[in-house]
Amino acid sequence: MHKFHGEAEHMRDNRLKELFGAGETVVNAWVSADSAYLAETLSHAGFDSVTVDLQHGMFGLDGAVRLLQAVSAGPAVPLARTPALDAAVIGKLLDAGAYGIICPAVDDPVQAARFVAMCRYPPAGVRSYGPARANLAQVPGYVGRADAQILTWAMIESRAALDAVEEIASTPGLDGVFVGPNDLALALGVEPGLAVPPPEVEAALARIAGAAHAAGRIAGAFALGTEAALRLTGQGYDFVTPGGDMAILRRAAAEAVAAVRGTAVTTAPSGGY
């Protein structure tokens, strides 16, 4: 851990680390809409964390910064999904105040090691100095404590990643793996977006959780709703997202309309990752 002259250790602790350490299941929200109001609302809704999705979200990097600010206005821990294994974007998201990064398409331990390095300051990594909003919000002591507070998840969503999941999970400095079940389904040649995943995906989910826990890492995944999230927790997943923002909104809207009309609930596929 870095420590510089005159720098006190006052960076806000990452509450997720405490929850994971206590064996709690962390419930995460997912933001894909370009709405700071929505992001702030989710932060106050009881979720432990809120992830700003820069890969598939309907906003760019500037929008992601505003959304991280909005999440930070509430009690949830702000996280971000980077669109790619890109040091510049990852650094920008961390500088904007993200306390953890979910990285898509990590297919092997070499890429996993590169990802970890992008999230750590030298000598442990290659993150460039310039904490900007992160330092503005948590001074003093950000740089000295950031490496110990920032969480890193490598996404397992390809056949190559699944084949190498044990090695990826064992990457030094990596905190966890995160499953994109629909991309993984496509990679395995089965239908994505099903309420109950095909057997191939269920087996992969079990293998990924086992690999994560064998390596002492966090097992995380995106779920298509609360029932799917409960199946994940039953498989031992520590970090679950029970649907994205738009899926939750559409489901609640459909239920309200159906209740007033006295009809069955009908919703379009909810999407997911």
Catalytic residue among 2, 5, 56, 213: 56
d(CA 73, CA 76): 9
Q: How far is CA 48 from the centre of its chain?
A: 12
Give the burial class of 189: count Cβ atoms within 10 A of its Cβ; 0-12 exposed, 13-18 middle, 19 or more buried: exposed
**Nearest CA-CA partner of 212 in 187, 234, 193, 237:** 237
What residues contact residue 248 under an 8 Å CB cut-off, 6+ apart?
none
**Nearest CA-CA partner of 93 in 114, 73, 126, 67:** 67
**Nearest CA-CA partner of 118 in 133, 138, 98:** 98
Whether 44 is catalytic: no
User: What sign results for the dihedral spanned by CA atoms 23, 148, 128, 168?
Assistant: negative
Active site members: 56
